[in-house]
Amino acid sequence: MKLYDSKLAPNPRRVRIFLAEKGISVPTVQVDIGKGESRKPPYIEKNPLGGLPMLELDDGTCIAESVAICRYFEATQPNPPLMGTDAADQGVVEMWQRRMEFELFRNVTGCFQNTHDFFKGRIEQVPAYGEICRKAGRARLAWLDGEIAKRPFIAGGRYTIADITALCAIDFGRVVDIRIADDQKNLARWYETVSTRPSAKA
Amino acid sequence: MKLYDSKLAPNPRRVRIFLAEKGISVPTVQVDIGKGESRKPPYIEKNPLGGLPMLELDDGTCIAESVAICRYFEATQPNPPLMGTDAADQGVVEMWQRRMEFELFRNVTGCFQNTHDFFKGRIEQVPAYGEICRKAGRARLAWLDGEIAKRPFIAGGRYTIADITALCAIDFGRVVDIRIADDQKNLARWYETVSTRPSAKA
């Protein structure tokens, strides 16, 4: 088993934190995004869309997409549960995972891809769309501050994959100035809790 | 239990097809998107982000997000499995579900929201971004035509939630002219298979 990883990108960190929370260790291969290694052979023969991270199983099966890789490990090692327990809890955790993905993570990366120099010349940037993402990302943090006032973690009383997605989105959000505002005290309390867990260093 | 549904929007159809494949019947409530019912009370008291569909359980728990609702029913009624069987298959199905969501569904809706008259005045549209989505959506269909040449269904030998997401994306794609092209014979064969299943009428 091998995990194709990049220390530069926000998605692979989601899997690294997930594995750290589970106490699972997997051999990793660093793929150099700056040199375009994830966009050319041999990597794209395993993952034609070129994204990172990717998990290659011993039988050659390749699983791309951070949440899909987490799903694999949730099934092979259910404890501690990070994707929900019973049916209702699995649904609620998946709802919050997706909200953190679409409302935070995607706005951060949408802003980054469309406004940041790193992507200049790599993709067709639309700065006006990037600015909408920035505004939306900030608005979602304000909304999340109210939500997180009601419970310790994003999806309820327990740390889950939704916290991991939110943490990675917020940390990466700094590069595009999507940050927890001074008056967002609930979010700041949550951030302090999750970012000081040992897994956050992964 | 109640499913908040809309016959007009593409996301609720994903859940309706999923339920039809499982043979599960749930009482539904139609929410009128045209009249803005999904963006005001009492609906947004249950789902603050205002999206559809949403499942309300008898204890009052509300699960929004189509895939999260499917996850709930996959856990309560595992057969037929639509989200994978063993750990590796669960990972592979989730990978393809996400690819269909991000590469097809999101490009179709991104194009629709940013170019279509329906959203004029409702959101800040960026037509240039919508055109990028249109081009990307078409490119992804060409890529998928090659992928689907290798197997009967999107994620392998079995019909899964990835087929549902792709079908709903492609059917809704017509409104923004993201369509299966004449030379995409593999995709046409797959489309014929999945769109003639009784569940496709859901």
Whether residues A65 and A10 fall in one domain? yes
Whether residues A116 and A189 fall in one domain? yes
The CATH code of the domain that includes A138 is: 1.20.1050.10
In a domain, A81, yes or no: no
pTM for the full model?
A: 0.97
Q: A65–B95: do the CB atoms touch at under 8 Å?
A: yes
* Chain B contact residues (CB < 8 Å to A): 48-49, 55, 57, 59, 61, 63-65, 67-69, 71-73, 75-76, 84, 86-88, 90-92, 94-95, 97-99, 103, 114, 124, 126, 128-129, 132, 143, 147
pLDDT at B122: 87
How far are the Cα atoms of A161, A168, A182, B27, B30 from residue A187, in angstroms, in the given order?
Answer: 17, 14, 10, 37, 35
Helix, strand, coil fractions of chain B, as percent rounded to 5 = 60, 10, 35
Q: How many domains does chain B have?
A: 2
Q: pLDDT at residue B48 above 90?
A: yes
Whether residues B22 and B72 fall in one domain? yes
Q: B88–A132: do the CB atoms touch at under 8 Å?
A: no
User: Strands A2-5 and A28-30: what pairing?
Assistant: parallel
pLDDT at A75: 98
What domain range includes position A46?
Answer: 2-76
In a domain, B81, yes or no: no
Whether residues A104 and A69 fall in one domain? no
**Chain B positions in Cβ-Cβ contact with residue A78 (cut-off 8 Å):** none
Whether residues B50 and B91 fall in one domain? no
Whether residues A142 and A68 fall in one domain? no
In a domain, B7, yes or no: yes
Whether residues A166 and A72 fall in one domain? no
In a domain, B82, yes or no: no
- Its ipTM equals 0.97
Q: A88–B63: do the CB atoms touch at under 8 Å?
A: yes
pLDDT at A122: 87
Question: A170-175 — which CB contacts under 8 Å span 24+ positions?
Answer: A170/A104, A170/A141, A171/A10, A171/A13, A171/A195, A172/A10, A172/A108, A172/A109, A172/A112, A173/A104, A173/A108, A173/A137, A175/A112, A175/A116
Whether residues B105 and B67 fall in one domain? no
Whether residues A139 and A65 fall in one domain? no
In a domain, A49, yes or no: yes
pLDDT in tens, A107-127: 999 999 999 998 898 899 999
Which residues of chain A carry a pLDDT beneath 50? none
Whether residues A194 and A108 fall in one domain? yes
